[in-house]
Amino acid sequence: MSRIKITLVRSRYGFKKDQRDTVKALGLRKIGHSVVKEDTPVIRGMVDKIKHMVKYEIIDEQKEE
């Protein structure tokens, strides 16, 4: 299964509380911090909700082997 690398590029302050909570739920702490998660529909939905605050890239595990 592929994975997704998510990096926070904008401050979470100044946005709605539910968007700030989504950033926190993904485990992102400060600008420039990245996390790697399994690429599931739930994670994709969270990323879509805060796409203006993050950048993301798909990591294909088949390619690495």
Taking only the tens place, the pLDDT of each residue in 6-52 is 999 999 999 999 999 999 999 999 999 999 999 999 999 999 999 99
DSSP per-residue codes, 15-54: S-HHHHHHHHHHT--STT-EEEEE--HHHHHHHHHTTTTE
Please say if the pLDDT value at position 64 is more than 70: no
Model confidence pTM above 0.85: yes
User: For residue 44, what are the contacts with CB-CB under 8 A and spacing of at least 6?
Assistant: 4
What is the set of domains in the chain, with CATH numbers? Answer: 3-64 (3.30.1390.20)
Other CB atoms within a 10 A radius of the CB of residue 63 amount to: 7
User: For residue 61, what are the contacts with CB-CB under 8 A and spacing of at least 6?
Assistant: 1, 2, 3
